[in-house]
Amino acid sequence: MTTILSKRLGGVKPSPSMAAKQRVDALRAAGRRVIDFTIGEPDFPTPAHIVKAGIDALAAGQTRYTASAGTLPLRQAIAAKLGRENGLAYAPDEIVVGCGAKHIIYDALAATLNEGDEVIVPAPYWVSYPDMVALHGGRPVIVPCGADNGFKLTPAGLESAVTRRTRWLILNSPNNPTGAVYSASELKALSEVLLRHPHVWLLTDEIYEHFVYGQAAHVSPVKLAPELQLRALVVNGLSKAYAMTGWRIGYGAGPLPLIKAITLLLTQSTTCAAGVSQAAAVTALEGPQQCVTDAARLFLARRDSIVEHLNRIPGIRCLPPDGAFYTFPSVAGLIGATTPAGKSLASDADVVMYFLDEAGVAAIDGSSYGMPGHLRMSFATSAEQIEAGCAALAQAVAALRLPVPSLRKENSHA
């Protein structure tokens, strides 16, 4: 029988974080205790004043379609936020609201890519970028960015990836999965390369902007190189900062023709983001911001704890992330180890399965994010779970026969 499915769909992989979540749910349903480090969202509820705004909006009858680009009050609130927090000047009609930042990125690529167009994606990357590019006929050009440069793209790496077919560079800072945060000078250097290639647009995904730690600070590359505003799409959303993942509100700010094109796609797909969620989003952006500061403080304490615990485990090495709520430890020191059952751990995916089976700890393999030899472990979970999970990992590692002699070298990282 011929297939109903499109050729383009053939290359698209399911999101590994969603797949990991399903695996955890299935194990829990079967009665197993699992400590989950795969979580990609804050583990606390939406602040009460934002929930109340949603309830009030429903009670007031805000139950209908809204303008496809988003309500004017929300686009005004976003324009004000971009000015206040990011030093960026956008008019409300240069802003479009979608069902999450993911939706906006998807439609931006749909609106701009022709068959064979290239999109530069630094690796490790958020898993959706390459698949979304491929889904729209584009070719993701993956540029590996190793731990030696803090998992960040260098100007030379960018320069060497640009061709005549390049349409976009996708930058994500603070980064999922590494937590890397680009400094102002690093962004400036990258924007100088972009300024030399006027046909390349910048998609800057700033969804984790509020979660930065220590000396790190978030700055939008568009603020640093205002010339780029004419060919940049600033993407952000409410999911992470306000613990609103399920409300599905994200937005893009960019030049009018691009915003109109994305809006056109919205009119023919979702029509608009949910009106009730848009009303709550106005309150989130205009209301008290203490909830965001509190969340960032909580994540900082958890970051310090998980990094310390992971670095005590032989064979695991973890750089402290500067932002977001993910660690990206190397497990290179465990590859080649033998399990008590006599199986050799040949890859990070094997390490993930061993940890799940032996320790009841769920993580995601770095290969899924374009960087083998690592795990993504989220710290959007409680201090108790971090402690218990790392203790279980330490026990599982102690049960391994580790490869020699690299073992001693890998372990001497204290």
Does 140 bind ligand PLP (CB under 6 A)? Our answer is no
Does 15 bind ligand PLP (CB under 6 A)? Our answer is no
Does 130 bind ligand PLP (CB under 6 A)? Our answer is no
- Cα separation, 365 vs 376, in Å, equals 6
Among 16, 40, 54, 366, interactor with ligand PLP by CB under 6 A: 40
- Cα separation, 116 vs 298, in Å, equals 44
Q: Are 254 and 235 in contact (CB under 8 A)?
A: no
Give buried/exposed letters for 141-159 (b at 16+ CB in 10 A, else e).
bbbebebeebbbbbbebbe
Among 88, 101, 200, 262, interactor with ligand PLP by CB under 6 A: 101
* Beta carbon of residue 288, minimum distance to ligand PLP (angstroms, whole number): 22
Does 253 bind ligand PLP (CB under 6 A)? Our answer is no
Does 100 bind ligand PLP (CB under 6 A)? Our answer is yes
DSSP string of 226-267, one letter each residue: GGGGGGEEEEEESTTTTT-GGG--EEEE--HHHHHHHHHHHH
Does 94 bind ligand PLP (CB under 6 A)? Our answer is no
Strand partners, 118: 139, 166
Nearer residue to ligand PLP within complex by CB, 166 or 239: 239
- Cα separation, 17 vs 378, in Å, equals 11
Q: Which residue has the tokens 């972009």?
A: 194
Q: Are 99 and 248 in contact (CB under 8 A)?
A: yes
Nearer residue to ligand PLP within complex by CB, 252 or 360: 252
Does 124 bind ligand PLP (CB under 6 A)? Our answer is no
Does 126 bind ligand PLP (CB under 6 A)? Our answer is yes
The piece of 99-107, 181-189, 190-198, 284-292 that touches ligand PLP (CB under 6 A) is: 99-107
Among 75, 81, 102, 376, interactor with ligand PLP by CB under 6 A: 102
Handedness of CA 160, 151, 245, 51 (dihedral sign): negative
* Beta carbon of residue 126, minimum distance to ligand PLP (angstroms, whole number): 4
Alpha helices, DSSP H, located in 113-203: 128-135, 155-161, 184-195
Nearer residue to ligand PLP within complex by CB, 71 or 178: 178
Query: Which positions touch ligand PLP (CB under 6 A)?
Result: 40, 100-102, 126, 172, 176, 205, 207, 237, 239, 245, 250
